[in-house]
């Protein structure tokens, strides 16, 4: 009981600064700090720090019926694509007094035996976050037709999708323009003189796999280039191993290819592995284009030409969309960000 009596309260801070306790509450909350004069807010923050005072978030949650926590569900936290997205999410949430709770749904693959997070596992992750009374969810794991979103709709919890979208209506998302990204890649290769271009798609149950494949076909048609059936193969997962396996299939079934457009950078790195094992040079024998511009692909040999996605902006915009939903704004639309092509040494004119 002695420790309870000695606990620092907002009243202690108010007495030290000489303001009302409500002023302390407003100054300590990032969402209401603007209602307090700047110099007063700074004095309150300094006094709180000197006394070791921190607001009781549980008590605040009981008053507002909010936990000020947001669940963020990722498919594979080890994938270099996701840290900049998460950083953007965290920056926006923390500025508004929210804390992200990050959950890893496990590695992705197109086959359950390869470790794909099936709906049951993802539902469990989402259920546990909802049980912790998160105020909303940011999901980077959605499928094109996703039963997990049915659960979220039934629980009436605000949801924003990031990096992927669903074909079911009613959910907002922040994605990159995959059609434009593939057009940038194909147009670049065509300008170099390539006419036989293959594609390694991501898993087609994901919007990125499906959308980038459609974008590839559309861009090839606009260039007047044929896409034989054997020039396209689908990777079992967005992984380096899957990229190597897919490239081996292309080398066997479409030996005349001079360039490969991969649906993401990990697949492109797997492509490098397969080409090296086959004694082929990149870009001398085969040009390769990736997608994402994940960290360090400028350091591989050769540095990878790739489509740059604005991952940090994707995260910040997803967090802003979700906070607007929590505040009562409408949902059900997608924010599409424009990608750029980053040309490096993995592409060159065909021999």
The per-residue pLDDT string of the chain (351 residues; one tens digit each, 9 = 90 and over) reads 334 435 788 888 999 999 988 888 888 877 678 888 888 989 998 998 888 887 765 555 545 567 899 999 998 888 889 999 999 999 999 988 899 999 998 755 444 433 444 557 788 899 999 998 999 999 998 888 888 898 898 999 999 999 998 887 789 999 999 999 999 999 999 999 999 999 999 999 999 999 999 999 999 999 999 999 999 999 999 999 999 999 999 999 999 999 999 999 999 999 999 999 999 999 999 999 999 999 999 999 999 999 999 999 999 999 999 999 998 887 778 899 999 999 999 999 998
Tell the burial category of 61 from Cβ atoms under 10 Å away from its Cβ (0-12, 13-18, 19+).
middle
Contacts 24+ apart (CB under 8 A), 4-11: 8/51, 8/52, 8/53, 9/53, 10/53, 10/55
194 within 8 A of 258, measured Cβ to Cβ: yes
pTM of the model: 0.80
What is the distance between the alpha carbons of residues 57 and 43, in angstroms, rounded to a whole number? 21
Q: How far is CA 142 from the centre of its chain?
A: 11
pLDDT at 64 (0 to 100)? 52
User: Which residue in the block uniquely carries the two structure tokens 């924003």?
Assistant: 160
Domains in the chain with CATH codes: 2-55 (1.10.260.40), 67-176+311-339 (3.40.50.2300), 178-309 (3.40.50.2300)
pLDDT at 110 (0 to 100)? 43
- Max Cα distance, the chain (Å): 82
């Amino acid at each position: 009981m002695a420790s309870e009596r000695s606990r620092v309260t907002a009243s202690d801070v108010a007495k030290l600064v000489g303001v009302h306790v409500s002023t302390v509450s407003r100054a300590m909350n990032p969402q209401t700090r603007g209602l307090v004069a700047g110099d007063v807010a700074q004095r309150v923050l300094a006094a709180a720090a000197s006394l070791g005072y921190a607001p009781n978030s549980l008590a605040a949650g009981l008053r507002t019926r909010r936990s000020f926590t947001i669940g963020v569900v990722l498919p594979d936290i080890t994938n270099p694509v996701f840290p900049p997205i998460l950083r953007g999410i965290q920056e926006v949430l923390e500025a508004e007094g929210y804390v992200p709770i990050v959950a890893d749904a496990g590695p992705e693959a197109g086959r359950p035996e390869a470790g794909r997070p099936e709906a049951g596992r993802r539902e469990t992750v989402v259920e546990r976050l909802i049980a912790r009374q998160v105020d909303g969810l940011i999901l980077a794991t959605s499928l094109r037709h996703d039963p997990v979103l049915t659960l979220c709709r039934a629980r009436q919890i605000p949801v924003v999708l990031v990096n992927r979208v669903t074909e079911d209506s009613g959910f907002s998302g922040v994605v990159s323009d995959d059609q434009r990204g593939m057009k940038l890649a194909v147009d670049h290769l065509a300008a170099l003189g390539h006419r036989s271009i293959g594609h390694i798609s991501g898993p087609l149950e994901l919007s990125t796999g499906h959308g980038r494949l459609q974008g590839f076909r559309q861009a090839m048609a606009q260039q007047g280039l044929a896409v034989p059936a054997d020039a396209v193969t689908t990777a079992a997962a967005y992984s380096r191993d899957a990229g190597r396996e897919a490239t081996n299939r292309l080398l066997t079934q479409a030996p005349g290819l001079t360039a490969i457009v991969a649906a993401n950078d990990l697949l492109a790195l797997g492509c490098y592995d397969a080409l090296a094992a086959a004694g082929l040079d990149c870009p001398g024998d085969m040009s390769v284009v990736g997608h994402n511009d994940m960290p360090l692909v400028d350091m591989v040999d050769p540095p990878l030409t790739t489509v740059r996605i604005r991952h940090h902006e994707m995260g910040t915009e997803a967090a802003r969309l979700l906070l607007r939903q929590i505040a009562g704004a409408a949902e059900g639309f997608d924010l599409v960000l424009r990608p750029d092509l980053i040309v490096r040494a993995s592409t060159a004119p065909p021999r």
